[in-house]
Amino acid sequence: MSELTMRVWRGDPEGGAFTDYPMPAVEGEVVLDVIHRIQAGPAPDLACRWNCKAGKCGSCSAEINGVPRLMCMTRMDELPTEEPVVVAPMRTFPVIRDLVTDVSFNYEVARRIPPFTPGPPPPGGYRMKQQDVERGQEFRKCIECFMCQDVCHVIRDHEENKTAFAGPRFFIRLMELDSHPLDEEDRREFTRHDAGLGYCNITKCCTEVCPEHIRITDNGIIPMKERVIDTAYDPVVWLGRKIVRRGARRPASTAGTAGEQPAAEESATA
């Protein structure tokens, strides 16, 4: 049986280093399987977050050979094994222990997103046609693995931007809400000013690492940028809106919390 070497980051908030684990190669395994075998053998105290092992819970995000990937969806036979397979925690977030990082930054941002705000239900309740549902459904595929947040250089390489920049996961959330036919809030100024959309220079790394293959940049960030330009940077559109005042939505405040989401959202977007 051939052998491979797993080079795994071991550490805590005090610091850390890579440790090599020579392991027998087993056909058909994914990286998470080998991590579990390390836990069962040479390093029972190795910390790693995982849950579904099916690419749907978004728990086992890590950087495998330097690229953010889900450990449960990365087959060992697609990695070069002549060199050690390097497994490190997500760079953007503080380490709790070993491969487990503190992703609370994302939950903080999520709390600031103005929630879904539908108008009063019409007689017969909310109804949406298929073409209105489709666009938002793509964003609903997000499993919140936060690899797009991890790979985004705006916060990955410039931690000071975390206070001003929401990140790609939340731009698709904002796009989903802003383009929702039942939503009545205008999130464009929030997206520009509070979420820091202007920091994004659309280098598409978020799209490249998304395990759900959401076109984060093409379908989320750039359309949202264009919507922001409509209100903030395009004098012609601004003038047009002044002359023809129709369908104006109320600007979103920054006071939203995750607990305010009306039940109508799930039924309307499902």
Per-residue interface string for the shown chain with another protein, residues 19-58, x marking contact by CB under 8 A = ----------------------------------------
222 HSE (CA, 13 A, CB side): 10
Q: Could you tell me which of 118, 106, 123 has the C-alpha nearest to residue 171?
A: 106
Among 4, 6, 11, 115, binds another protein (CB under 8 A): 11
Packing angle of the helix pair 104-112, 168-178 (nearest 10 deg): 20
CA dihedral 32, 35, 39, 40 (to 10 degrees): 70
Site size toward another protein, by CB under 8 A? 79
84 DSSP 8-state letter = P
Cβ atoms of residues 143 and 173 within 8 Å = no
Name the minimum Å distance from CB 37 to another protein: 22
Q: Nearer Cβ to another protein, position 25 or 202?
A: 202
Smallest distance, Å, CB 143 to another protein?
19
Candidate list 24, 41, 94, 262; residue touching another protein; CB under 8 A:
94
8 Å CB contact between 152 and 92: yes
38, 46, 89, 194: residue in contact with another protein (rule CB under 8 A): 89
98: left (phi over 0), alpha (psi -120 to 50) or beta: left
Which residue's CB is nearer to another protein, number 36 or number 153? 153
Residue 96 structure tokens:
């709790």
Among 6, 23, 142, 200, binds another protein (CB under 8 A): 200
Least gap, CB of 188 to another protein (angstroms): 11
Which x/- pattern over 203-232 shows residues binding another protein (rule: CB under 8 A)?
xxx--xx-----x--x---xx-xxx-xx--
